[in-house]
Amino acid sequence: MYAHRFLSAKVYLKILFSLICFGDAEAVPEASVSGVKSSGFPRRFAGDKWFVFREFTGGMKWKSHAWNGLFFVLAMMLAVSCVSPTAENQAPIVRLGFSAWPGWFPWQVAQEKGIFTAQNVQVDLKWFDSYLDSINALTAQQLDANSQTLNDTISAVAGGADQVIVLVNDNSTGNDKIIVRAGINTIADLKGKKVAAEEGTVDHFLLLLGMEQAGLKPSDITFVPLETGKAATAFVAGQVDAVGVFAPFTTQALKRPGSKELFSSKDFPGAISDHLVFTRSFVNEHPEQVQALVDAWFATTKFLETNPEEATAIMAKKANVSVEEYKQYAGGTRIFTVQENITAFQPGNDMSSLPFAAKKISAFLTQVGLAKTQPDLSKLFDDRFVKAHAQAQMSPVPVTSHDRSSPFPAHS
């Protein structure tokens, strides 16, 4: 919208140049253009007018036109610089990734119901068919934020990514499952079998947790690395004996006749937590936008509570399942409240504490070979945004977007 203003400045420079060279300038209406072209005087087209330049009659007149023209152009350029927006004054668009998981489908509700806009945050919500692709996109900084699990974030950090967890979306309480064919009844029965999962991600982690509990080593199975959707398809087709998948792909996998759940995240409380994860550079440079997105999340969970049928319909459509099928996921995902978020970020001595869980998961990932070294976890969590949201909810004076700078000291 500002391009024409800069173009006008260029035009005025052309006019100034012609004034210096030729002298007087006279604007000619469009209807007289043909006459202008045959007049014999030098001419220039500026914007929507032709200017005819008659020869100047003396040195003083040339100087007068030149100085007047120069002052006019400088004034116009100053005016343009005053009205043109700068990058520093524009809030950045947050590039947010998400993929198929009941704890992340609410982002679709936020988009469709205008919640991002209501919270003064511009979001480019990017859907990924492959969860692993979304993790890789954040690691490559093709995203500013992503929806991913604690263990997958730790794996990324161990590989050199600099990421920050600012929010707990939910805990998996059964929607991550190891599903097996008929004839497999115990975890020990997996020995020597072909088991598919998305390598290095959440359900591979769940599979290894169960195997360790049963005394099996990773080498005791034939592991088949497949993207989660393809893993479910391969299982239904009878190409593998067992599969590690999360909802909604659990619905697809269980369509194989005789198949059943062997174990799930319900058997490992707190082992699979799901989060809003940012690059550290974005958190440091744009804390107000991080706060606005955290605020938008809690506004969305409130919408889910007050408009359950409408919200479920939106999420079921995105999950490509029926509303009735989607409702079956309710017990397998526990959406965290503001207070549960604050509590989760605190130190503790069990898996309900994120710092405790992170240390346990980091050690396990290294032990089973999913991470080469245990990363520095001291700066992984940043709870100031959920705390600021909680404080704003308690405050009798609403916090506007202009008030958000003060709670955010710089974090290194």
Q: What is the pLDDT of residue 370?
A: 85
For residue range 40-87, list pLDDT tens digits in order.
444 444 444 444 444 434 444 444 444 455 555 455 444 444 444 434
- What are the E-state strand segments in 106-221? 123-128, 145-149, 163-172, 176-180, 194-197
CB 169 within 8 A of CB 275: yes
**For residue 296, what are the contacts with CB-CB under 8 A and spacing of at least 6?**
110, 115, 116, 118, 119, 121, 123
Domain end point (choices 84, 103, 124): 84
Domain count along the chain: 3
Domain end point (choices 52, 84, 116): 84
Q: Kindly state whether residues 154 and 193 are assigned to the same domain.
A: no
Q: In terms of DSSP H, where are the helices of 222-272? A: 228-236, 249-253
Average pLDDT over the chain, rounded to whole?
Answer: 83
Q: Is 326 inside any structural domain?
A: no
Pairing of strands 94-99, 145-149: parallel
Q: Kindly state whether residues 38 and 80 are assigned to the same domain.
A: yes
Q: Kindly state whether residues 248 and 99 are assigned to the same domain.
A: no
Q: Kindly state whether residues 60 and 112 are assigned to the same domain.
A: no
Q: Is 325 inside any structural domain?
A: no
Segments in the chain below pLDDT 50: 1-67, 73, 76-87, 397-412
Q: What is the pLDDT of residue 368?
A: 85
Q: Is 203 inside any structural domain?
A: yes
Q: Is 292 inside any structural domain?
A: yes
Question: Residue 160 burial by CB count (10 A; 0-12/13-18/19+): exposed, middle or buried?
Answer: exposed
Q: What is the pLDDT of residue 45?
A: 41
12 to each of 7, 20, 23, 32, 47, how far by Cα in Å? 9, 12, 15, 21, 9
Give the CATH number, domain containing residue 204: 3.40.190.10
Q: Kindly state whether residues 181 and 258 are assigned to the same domain.
A: yes
Q: Kindly state whether residues 189 and 263 are assigned to the same domain.
A: yes
Q: What is the pLDDT of residue 351?
A: 93
Q: Is 368 inside any structural domain?
A: yes
pTM: 0.73
Q: Is 303 inside any structural domain?
A: yes
Q: Kindly state whether residues 72 and 19 are assigned to the same domain.
A: yes
Gyration radius of the chain over CA positions: 31
Domain end point (choices 45, 61, 84): 84
Q: Kindly state whether residues 247 and 352 are assigned to the same domain.
A: no
Q: Is 317 inside any structural domain?
A: no
Give the whole-angstrom CA distance, residue 37 versus residue 41. 8
Range of the domain at 18: 3-84
Q: Write out the two tokens for 299.
A: 């506004």
Q: Kindly state whether residues 232 and 379 are assigned to the same domain.
A: no
Q: What is the pLDDT of residue 369?
A: 85
Pairing of strands 163-172, 333-335: antiparallel
Q: Kindly state whether residues 160 and 306 are assigned to the same domain.
A: yes
Q: Kindly state whether residues 287 and 395 are assigned to the same domain.
A: yes
Q: Is 411 inside any structural domain?
A: no
Q: Write out the two tokens for 349.
A: 């001595």
Q: Kindly state whether residues 218 and 251 are assigned to the same domain.
A: yes
